[in-house]
A and B are shown apart, each in its own frame.
Chain A
């Protein structure tokens, strides 16, 4: 039982990160019908931005909650700007062409980010400084949770609540919803759709960057290709939840995270070695596409015209 609780905690921890990244995939898809394959790399950019902030502002030597907050929000803001620049200069010019064009552009953007960072920081992993003292807390039994896991939970929940607020209670959120239902109608309502799209990229990038900083606290080894696998898994999470569906992205992320650690913990009993951990997400992807392509919370409803 203790191991189960422990596995679940670990799973939901990584699942929260998948959820944060999946939200960016799903929001951009909801608005542009574009799979932004560079999104996982924005997560990496967020981790490196946090790293640079921590080093240059001197937070590495004196762990404090303020230092952590500055690094987290600083990285989110800088990455949001980078996300908007990506949209402005890579995606907007090709938006009027076919979806295949934008998809290939996204893959190109992904490689561009990865290898730009290899050039700048080299491919050698760097150690992300510990910004907060890492303590272990015993829950019940022998299950423990440490500070960085706790941070992941608390920060992700707060960010998701904030996102919910923006989408449902603000003017720009209303515009985002309108654009995702019908781009041209939104334009006719006087919505500056270019701005809304850029804002959506900014929002998604900020969430991914937060994920990057949080992961780097949990597992302090960052490298330019770190966004590749986690980005793909977050994409699977978005598809599992129903791409375009915001609660779906969160649910998908948590489920994939939990499934992964459960395979690590118990897979051996049913003949799945724990080394299959990274394959779980993709097995789930195949199942979803076969059984319920619209995803758990996605709707298959045709638009009424």
Chain B
């Protein structure tokens, strides 16, 4: 479904990603784990066209999308919940969800999908009319994910959804990831919380200073001594 082939990305003279190749297949949850500054967010920004690869190719369902204008990806079925959530602070929860459906014209279904979002995160229903800026970090994360789902994506990109959240909320977020997957959406999950990410995904890639150093079945990686030592704190 999504393929990165030998992608290198620079920030000015600094190489942020070196020769990244990865693949996400239909129906999978694939996770990209690694420490701060390993290039996880850079990878997602490159997929969504916010950055342009210096080398290599990003293809989505057979189409080359390297450096394609970001706003053209949503109609193709790619949606992202960005790092730092990126909710529209001055808009209400409902208006944020409306923005998620910006490109859609089928009002009836939009209303249904909004209800589905509220089922996914009942907390958002309670906050429906509140400005997104007044929500807690966890609620903003829920909103960012629910908003990303409003376009009915086929591929959902999640950037550090559990960052800075209390354990209970982390649990809620990962439960939601399981539910979204069960509804048939393919997910590429970028996470620092390697433990949770490996337990809620099929395959994983480990990123270190801009290179992929390990890849494989999530369960096998979780059992790998090197991963255990470096990322699972065991």
**Interface on A for B, CB 8 Å cutoff?**
171, 174-175, 177-178, 181-182, 184-193, 301, 303-305
Contact = CB atoms under 8 A, between A and B. Distances in A.
Contacts of B129: none
Contacts of A303: 89, 133
A193 B69 CA distance: 10
Interface string B162-197: 000000000000000000000000000000000000
Nearest to B105: A171
Closest A-B pairs by Cβ, 10 of them: A190-B74, A185-B86, A187-B70, A190-B103, A181-B88, A305-B84, A189-B102, A192-B71, A189-B99, A190-B71
B75 interface: yes
Contacts, number: 69
B218 interface: no
A185 B87 contact: yes
B91 interface: yes
Contact of B102 (A175, A181, A182, A304): A175
Nearest to B50: A184
B66 interface: no
Given A187-B71, A188-B70, A190-B103, 20 more contacts: A171-B102, A178-B88, A178-B91, A178-B99, A182-B88, A184-B82, A185-B88, A186-B99, A187-B69, A187-B70, A188-B48, A188-B80, A188-B86, A189-B99, A189-B102, A189-B103, A190-B74, A190-B151, A301-B133, A305-B85
Interface in B48-62: 48, 50
Contacts of B100: 189
A251 B50 CA distance: 37
Contacts of A193: 71
Contacts of B75: 190
A247 B22 CA distance: 49
